[in-house]
């Protein structure tokens, strides 16, 4: 179980660029990764995410596709600020919608579990 879903507001990114004028005139702005100042905690979190992506397994259903996937299912209990992993044999598989993938209809695909530390 994972607590602290709303902690992102406590650990927000600090932007070094004043994008207000661009947002007002164009309705959007483009920021680079160097436009943000990261705290030591944010740098540590980013390092965990980077290591996680480096360890993803290839998509076992199409190893030539260049896709790397993990899949898990959770139930969010917002009143308790709690994320609970689904505990069943189907927690790490899913069926793709026919509009998305008409080649593999009604065939569940199983993937490596998303580790708790990445949540």
Inter-residue contact 28 to 107 (CB < 8 Å): no
The answer to whether position 39 is within a domain reads yes
Per-residue pLDDT for 93 more than 50? yes
Residue 25 pLDDT grade (very low, low, confident, very high; cuts 50, 70, 90): very high
Do 83 and 104 share a domain, yes or no?
A: yes
Spacing of C-alpha 2 from chain mean position? 15
Instruction: Give the H/E segment covering residue 2.
Output: strand 2-3
The answer to whether position 6 is within a domain reads no
* Across 89-100, average pLDDT: 62
Q: What percent of the chain has pLDDT over 90?
A: 6
Range of the domain at 90: 61-119
Q: Angle CA(69)–CA(72)–CA(73) in degrees, nearest 5?
A: 145
Do 66 and 119 share a domain, yes or no?
A: yes
Task: Please tell me the predicted confidence (pLDDT) of residue 66.
Answer: 85
Do 50 and 75 share a domain, yes or no?
A: no
pLDDT tens digits for range 7-21: 555 667 788 888 888
Q: Write out the two tokens for 65.
A: 């596709």
Lowest mean pLDDT among 30-39, 44-53, 89-98: 89-98
Q: Report the mean per-residue pLDDT for the chain.
A: 78
Residue 26 pLDDT grade (very low, low, confident, very high; cuts 50, 70, 90): very high
* Across 105-117, average pLDDT: 74
Do 43 and 72 share a domain, yes or no?
A: no
Measured distance CA(106)–CA(102) in Å, rounded? 9
Do 97 and 113 share a domain, yes or no?
A: yes
Do 106 and 69 share a domain, yes or no?
A: yes
What domain count does the chain have?
Answer: 2
Per-residue pLDDT for 101 more than 50? yes
- Residues 6+ positions from 98 with CB-CB distance below 8 Å: 105
The answer to whether position 67 is within a domain reads yes
């Amino acid at each position: 179980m994972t607590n602290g879903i709303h902690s992102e507001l406590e650990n927000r990114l600090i932007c070094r660029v004043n994008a207000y004028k661009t947002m007002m005139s164009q309705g959007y702005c483009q920021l680079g990764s160097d436009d943000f100042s990261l705290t030591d905690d944010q740098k540590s979190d980013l390092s965990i995410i980077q290591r996680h992506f480096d360890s993803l397994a290839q998509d076992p259903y199409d190893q030539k596709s260049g896709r790397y996937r993990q899949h898990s299912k959770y139930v969010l209990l917002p009143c308790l600020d709690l994320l609970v992993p689904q505990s069943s044999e189907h927690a790490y598989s899913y069926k793709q919608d026919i509009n998305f993938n008409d080649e593999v209809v009604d065939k569940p695909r199983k993937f490596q579990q998303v580790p708790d530390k990445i949540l």
